[in-house]
Amino acid sequence: MKGRASLPGADELFRVTSIEKGRGRGAKQPAEDRSTEEPAERVPSGRQRHDEKVTFYCTADELMDLENARLLLRREHGVAVDRGRIVREALAQVLSELERDGAEAPLVKRLTR
């Protein structure tokens, strides 16, 4: 007869995974004096445990493009990442551009076409 499976306790399941509550590595780095400095560059969260989840729908072609980008990064650039990491990197880049460029940001231009 097999023994029972060992499961983690509540302390391990609900542990804090970021240094500052509510601020992971993906949060914008604060600028000391916003009047003289440009907005800080956003830093994607990279490889860490993520506590939040978002679901979005995409077409089969968009999913295939994302998977092809993942394979291209691995094959031609030696970068082995998952699709979520690509999406988090792209999100950090787009949000940085929006904060820095405002109405001139590529996101604004694409969404107002």
Tally the domains of the chain. 1
Residue 77 domain flag: yes
Mean pLDDT per block of 10 residues along the chain (113 residues) reads 70 59 49 58 71 91 97 96 94 95 96 94
Q: What is the DSSP string of 45-100?
A: --SS-----------HHHHHHHHHHHHHHHHHH-----HHHHHHHHHHHHHHHHHH
Residue 95 domain flag: yes
Determine the pLDDT at residue 7: 73
Residue 81 domain flag: yes
Q: Taking a C-beta distance cutoff of 8 angstroms, is the pair 51, 13 a contact?
A: no
Determine the pLDDT at residue 25: 46
Residue 12 domain flag: no
Domain hosting residue 85, numbered range = 59-113
Q: Distance between CA 82 and CA 66 in Å, rounded?
A: 10
pTM of the model: 0.60
Residue 66 domain flag: yes
Query: Which long-range CB contacts under 8 A does 100-109 form with residues at least 24 apart?
Result: 100/38, 100/39
Q: Distance between CA 96 and CA 85 in Å, rounded?
A: 17
